[in-house]
Each structure stands twice: as C-alpha cells, then as structure tokens.
A and B are shown apart, each in its own frame.
Chain A
Amino acid sequence: MARPQQWSEDDVLEFVTLKAGGQSYCIEITQIREIRRWSPVTALPQAESAVLGVMNLRGAVIPIVDLAARLGLGKCDASPRHVIMVVAVGDKTVGLLVDSVSEILTVSGEQICEAPAMGRGDVPNSILGLISIEEGMSRILSPSVLLPSVLREVA
C-alpha cells in the first residue's frame, strides 16, 4: 500500500495512541503538550456541540473538544476516568477529550499506510494514515480536525 507523502520511508516516528469512541487513534508525539485528567469545563455560548467548553491550563484558556463527537462517533459522556490530551496545532493549544491514552508507538515511515479513500465524509478526511498494531490498526489524526471549527479555516 502507498505511503502518505509527508513521511519518508526511513523516518523514525513516535505516536501516542488513544481511544475515542471505541476506536484507536494516534497523534504524533511532538504535537502533544501534556495529558491530564478530565475536570469540569466552562461551557461556551453558541459553540458547536463537539466543543465542550474552556478549561484553565495554568492560566491559559484552552477549548476542550470532544474527539468522538468531532469524528462523528457520538458524544462522549465525560467522567473523571476520561482523559484530556493537550495538543498544539499551529499556534493554538487545544484539549481533546478522549476515552483513554494507551501507549507510545515507535514506527518507521515505511510502516505507515495511506488511508484508503472511501466515503467522502468528514472522518476519512481527518485521517492521515494507518499504522498496524497488535489489536488491529490505529488511525493517524490530521491536526486540523482537532481544532474547533471556528478556528479551522485559519489553521
């Protein structure tokens, strides 16, 4: 299977895998700022449903996006067992609400497969590539999908 263009064959890459909406996803480790427990957020008026609100991250106000809802996998019922991954996308910082964070994958570029083109929905567009893991595969998330939609055109 063809490899996505942004990674060359001998790149050594590290991804953090996570579960959202019951599926395995991963994000390049360089984008991740920190991982913290879920704590209640402050709701925002007129926000899209995937944006749960804003949270105080040591003085910075960051929006929290429900990743499952964003990917169209249904809303996540946030509880203290859930995890917030703080990721940097461009010059923005966003918190992602996910079910759990699993492990760090070290893969070489050649192990990344291109995401097959199918169904022109939002979900496939948000996947940059696939990595095979023991229990199946993990989907590499495109950074732009992580932002609230109000920011996506500027990102």
Chain B
Amino acid sequence: MSRDDLKATFFAECEDLLEQLSEGSQDMIAGSADDDTVNAIFRAVHSIKGAAGAFGLENLVTFAHCFETVLDRVRSGELVPDTDALHTILRSGDMLADLVELAQADSTEIPEAMPAILDKLNELSGTAAEDAGDAAADMGADMDFFGFQPLVLDPLGEEGDEDTAPAQAGETCFRIRLTASSDLFRNGHDPVLLFSELAMLGHVETRCDLSALPEADAFDPERCYLNWDLTLRGQMTEDAVRDVFMFLEDLCQIEAVDDPGADGAEPVPDLPPPSVAEETAPPQVEFRAAAPRETAPAPIELALAAETRAPVAAEPVNPAKGAAKAASPVPQTTLRVDPERVDRLINTVGELIINQAVIAQKLQETGLASNSDIMSDLDDYQYLARELQEGVMAIRAQPVKPLFQRMQRIVREAADSLGKEVVLVAEGEGTEIDKTLVERLAEPLTHMIRNAVDHGIESPEKRIAAGKPVMGTIRLSAAHRSGDVLIEIADDGAGLNRKRILEIAVSKGLVPADAKLSEPEIDNLLFMAGFSTAEKVTNLSGRGVGMDVVKTAITTLGGKVTISSRPGEGTLFSISLPLTLAVMDGMVIHAAGQTLVAPLSSVLETIRPRPQDIVPYGREGRLLSIRGTYVPIVHLGNLLGFTCGDEISSENILILIRSERSGHVALAVDEISDQRQVVVKSLEGNYGAIEGISAATILGDGRIALIIDTDAILTLAGDLGRDVALIEETQHGKTAAMV
C-alpha cells in the first residue's frame, strides 16, 4: 500500500469517525448520552488524532489533542458539561471536520474560528492557552502520537468462577506455549486475533510472560517481546487448535493435557511466578507494542489487568483499522467499493434490461402465442432482470443520515450568527436514496435550511411575543412515497409574508401591479429568478440567488419542490425526488419520423385536439384552447430542427408539459406509442450537450431514442416566437390555476 493509498483510507475512515462524532454530540445535546456515547466520541477524536499524527497533519493533531483532553475530562467525570460546554463540543466537532477537509485538500491553512474554539477548549480542559501551541510538539514525544489505543480485553461471557471450573465430561484441555518470534508483528500477526479465535473454540485462559521485556530505552516498538501460555478447554480437536496457529507453526507448542481438572488451577511450571509479571507490568498499566510503522494505525494493545490469569477474549474496542473487527464473533461487515465498479454493474444491468426488451420484441414479431412456453419463460426473464436491477440499484442507495447530519451543523451556524435559537429535528434518516442524489441534494438543502433559519424562524423576542417557545424548530424528514422520495422541511416560524412577497414581486417587475394572484401563486413567486425577500443582505441567504436556484437544482434531479405556508404557524417545503437518476419513467413519442422520450414527470396530460381547439395566433403561432385558457403550441419536430415549417393541425397529438419556470406548453407530436421505464444514457460522454435534449436511451429494438429536456424545450420555444411568450405571460395566472 502506498502512502497515498493509506491517506485515502485515512480520510475514508475520518468520514465514518466524524459521523460517529457528530451523532454522539447530538445525543449529548439531547441529553440522551451515556458513558458509551462519550467514550465513542472520545475514541473518534483520538483515532483521528492518532492517524493524523502519522501523516504529519499538525493542525489536525493540535486541535484534536485539545478536543480530546476536554472529552477525556468529561469521560472521567471531572467535567460535567453545561450548555456552554456542550456547545463548544459541537463546535469543535465541526471544526475538526473542517480541518479534515482542509487536510484532504492538502491545505495547512488555519480556519478563522479555530483560535477561538481552541481557547474555549483550553478553558474547559483547565490548561493554559499557550499550552495549545506546544501540543503538537509535545505529541512527538508522546507515544499517543502514533495513535495507539488501549484495547481492553474483556472477560468472555459470564461463566462464573472460571478459574476453578472443573472440566466437563468430554472436554479436552490443551496447553499452548506461544513463543513469539521477535518478527511476529513484522509478519503481520496479531495475537489478539488468535486469542479471540481460540475463544470461539472453547474456554481460554492466557498468561502473558513479560520477562523478555527490556527497559524502555532499549525498547524496539516493532519487536514482540511477549510470550504467552494458554490453556484451552472445551470440546475441540487438536486439529482445530492447530488450524488457529496454522501460520505460526514454528512459534508455538501445543500439547494435550490428560488431566484438565487439576491442570487448570496450577501455574505452568516453567513460567515465572505471577508476582514477577506483576512487577514488570503493574496493575492497570497499559502495555503497548506497535505494529510495523506502515500500518501504524493498527496497534496491538493489551491492557493487562492485575489478575494475571484473566480469561481472555478479544473485544476490539473501535479499532483504528477495520482489520481487527474481524475478531468479534459476529462481525458486521460492510464493503467499501469503488463507485465506478458499481456504476459499471448498473450499466451492464441496464444493458441486460434493454437486451431483454429486444428479445421480447423480436419474439413478438415472430407471432408466437403469448401463452407459449417461451413467452412465459421470457416473462420470468423480465422479472429476474428487474429484480437484478433493483438489487444493483440498492447498492448505490445510501441513507440520508449523513446529509441530514450536515444540516444540523448548518442550523447551528446559521442560528448562532443570527442570534436565534433553533433546533433541527431529523426524521426518517434511514431513508435510502441514490448516492448521486444524496450528493447533489446537499447544496439545495443547505440553502433551504439556511432560509428556514434566516427567514422562517422569528427572532426570540418575536417568538415570545407570539407566545411560542423561544426555541424554534425545523423538522427535516425523509420518507419513501409511491416510488419517490419525499423530503420535507418544515419550520414553526411566522409563515410567508404574502403581502411583502407580492410587493417585492411587483417592485421587481416580476408580476404586473394589478395582478390578482391566489395564495399558492404568491408563494410560488419565491421560486422566480431574481426574487429575494431578504431586506438586508446577510451572509446566509439573500445574495440574490434564492429559491429559484434551489428549484432549478431539484428539477435537474428530476424532482419537484412545492411550498405551503400558514401565517403564524410556519412554512413547509416539500421536495419529491425519483429514487434514482439511472432509470426514469418516460413517454415514448414520435415526431418528424424520430422516436423521442418525454419524461413522464413533466407530462401533465395528452390531448387529441378538435380542429376548433387550435387557434391561430399571429402569423404562425398556434394556441390551444383548453378549458377556457390558452396555451401555446410548439411543433416538436420543427423546434428540434428535424422538420421545418410543418403546420400544426388537429392530426397532431398534443402533450401538455409543465415547465418549472414559465407556465405550460403543448408539444405537437405525431404519435404516442408507449409509456415505460427507460435507462438513462448520457450523451455527453462521446458527444456533447444538445440544447433541448437531456440524455438518450435505448429502445427495445436496440435503437437510440433521445430524451427531451422539457425546460430547455420551453426556452427554445421562447426563442421561436416572442408572441407566444407574451401570451403565455398574460395567461400565466390562469394557466397555473387550471392545473
């Protein structure tokens, strides 16, 4: 493994550790923290510090060290954190995440807020401020620098008085002398793993022989100075025991003992008496030995209890390296897989589905009866292919939890800088959505959460005046709804100030002054480009880019965002998103001899117009008269340049599509042939972006069909005829009401 690989692993682990940290500190704030929680946080910080030290990331080490000192005091009960202290702990967690991010970007920059937080931490840890600066230097001398962590070897189970437990009938007893060669660690062996493996076979007693341990100055951390005497009792064969030591054959002696009962109580004769061992390793002193430096974060540490004959079972306590996890009896394994591999798999499965469609189509063309054997086999094939696809998609699915946790931080920071008290309540964190969606949702969600804190939640004074609790609540929830993911952001603030919104929209010329808009229409003005209600520009929201950016981002992901609000009670934003970007529901249409796919999510209805429904407008424009309103009609073939100047007639079928930005448009097409799931293929890999086309897909006959980008189509349509855009403007209100 190269250093870069190691570093990549380090950062991947940091991500997990930071997540644990964030989760733990949330619990502490919520008051639901127990000792384990504090320990978990401490260990997370400690692990980051240790590994950061190995990579010489000094900022990170310095900070983590101070943070850890405070956590250690909390852990030991010296410090009972008050609200302020908890706050500092939360902040420190955020800062640590920042530092990790900076380190990942190879930056040694010190974040602005770091000195202030360090001061606070030092206050809490009771050390002087100047100490902090030296911390990194001190670390060098400190063994902790290498990230050693005590691994406490807990007794296995509660089997009563094990020392004197008589041998059961049929039990065998083995005595094993493990004489470790000094190269034990260099070869990558870890005795803890061996012991825990033995513990799975039966009852183990270990005795560690420390007599070979040199004085500290002669100590070589890469060498193993320990020898062990093990007594193993239980129903097992000698082969099973030998198997455990398979790779250590030369290093240990195994002997079966005839009289296990008597043997268990007697010390092994050639061992030094227990008192000697105790002198070398006084009670509770942690004895450390290091793994080879290359794998520095995987130390072996045996905390020897005073009792020299402590039965041993290894229970690795949050090992710095995942490897040691294998030791726990029921390992919960997860895979870290290069996303590219998963994507390849998804692509291949997509191919399989297309291929299945091709075969189905060809078989149908042969005129086989639909109840014939081969057709029912084909149905099975289709079913299996779908199953496979769903399974593969599930690999990419990730819970929204990390995303939601990031939002906790956003709320904290936003509330702090605005002097508000806000708590974020997250629900449905386990909801899984496609990894890409999780990533691309981060930005719009951040924006919306900030908005909710900035504009949604009132100032404490106003809240008190309104008889609400001072603490504002933002509820962020995720759930699966009929094939979509529904994400809701609800605040219990003042609700939208519709009067003000309308005023602004009028003053910015977004709507005519005399426009009569319904409440939902006013709410939707928020999503218009260039709209921002912030009366002063804060550094949180109100930079002129506002909800329209959010809406565009969500739309690009194939989702929808809606808003609802009640004065005095709060505002609710709902985002509904497809589960995945790789597959979508589409309507297969034909226009100008081409087969195209329209995303079903933007199709409102399909219409076969009567001749009188098509009204000429200007020289070439046509409007569709529908339920008393007029919608511009656009000839799709002409618009995309496949044909030129074709007339729109009642022969055409009209597809009414919704646009996120500007009303509706009816697309004139020749035929609608199908509605189906299509696998989305990017055009940009080998070609490039095409205006009006979002991607391509492969149809049952193996040919490519282009997927139209409804928003871009509308923009294109706007370019074709200003008249159309004009009429659309004046009709906007009515059109929106119609749907």
A contact residues vs B (CB 8 Å cutoff): 40-47, 53-56, 58-63, 92-94, 148, 150-151
Contact = CB atoms under 8 A, between A and B. Distances in A.
Nearest to B688: A150
B702 interface: yes
A115 B348 CA distance: 44
A62 B348 CA distance: 17
A42 B704 contact: yes
A140 B503 CA distance: 67
Contacts, number: 73
Interface stretch (B106-114, B575-583, B679-687): B679-687
A54 B702 contact: no
B687 A150 contact: yes
A60 B706 contact: no
Given A54-B696, A59-B698, A61-B696, A42 B685 contact: no
Interface of B: 347-348, 350-351, 354, 594-595, 640-642, 681-683, 685-688, 690-693, 696, 698, 702-706
B702 A56 contact: yes
A44 B691 CA distance: 10
A55 B687 CA distance: 11
B703 A62 contact: no
Contacts of A62: 686-687
A136 to B, nearest CB: 33
B594 A42 contact: yes
Nearest to A92: B686
A60 B704 contact: no
Nearest to A59: B351
A17 B692 CA distance: 38
B691 to A, nearest CB: 6
28 contacts: A42-B696, A42-B706, A44-B690, A44-B706, A45-B641, A45-B642, A45-B691, A45-B692, A45-B693, A46-B641, A46-B690, A54-B696, A54-B704, A56-B702, A56-B703, A56-B704, A59-B350, A59-B354, A60-B686, A61-B681, A61-B685, A61-B686, A63-B687, A92-B685, A93-B686, A148-B688, A150-B688, A151-B687
A150 B640 CA distance: 17
A60 B685 contact: yes
Given A61-B681, A94-B686, A45 B350 contact: no
A41 B686 CA distance: 15
A148 B687 CA distance: 7
A108 B62 CA distance: 63
A63 B690 CA distance: 12
Contacts of A45: 640-642, 690-693, 706
Which of A46, A58, A61, A148 has the most chain B CB within a 10 Å cutoff?
A61
A41 B680 CA distance: 18
B692 A54 contact: no
Nearest to B639: A45
A45 B713 CA distance: 12
A89 B616 CA distance: 49
A58 B703 contact: no
Given A44-B693, A45-B693, A59-B347, 18 more contacts: A42-B595, A42-B703, A42-B705, A44-B687, A44-B690, A45-B640, A45-B692, A45-B706, A55-B704, A58-B351, A59-B350, A61-B681, A61-B687, A61-B698, A63-B686, A94-B686, A148-B687, A150-B687
Contacts of B594: 42-43
> Which 3 A-B residue pairings sit nearest by Cβ, starting from the closest?
A45-B640, A150-B688, A42-B704
Nearest to B696: A61
Contact of A151 (B348, B688, B691): B688
Nearest to B354: A59
Nearest to A55: B704
A108 to B, nearest CB: 33
A19 to B, nearest CB: 24
B687 A54 contact: yes
B682 A61 contact: yes
Nearest to B691: A46
B644 to A, nearest CB: 12
A92 B350 CA distance: 21
Contacts of A54: 683, 687, 696, 704
Contacts of A56: 698, 702-704
A122 B351 CA distance: 39
B668 to A, nearest CB: 16
Contacts of B687: 44, 54, 61-63, 148, 150-151
Which of A41, A42, A45, A151 has the most chain B CB within a 10 Å cutoff?
A45
Given A45-B642, A56-B698, A61 B688 contact: no
A151 to B, nearest CB: 6
Contacts of B348: 59
Contacts of A59: 347-348, 350-351, 354, 681, 698
A62 to B, nearest CB: 5
A44 B347 CA distance: 23
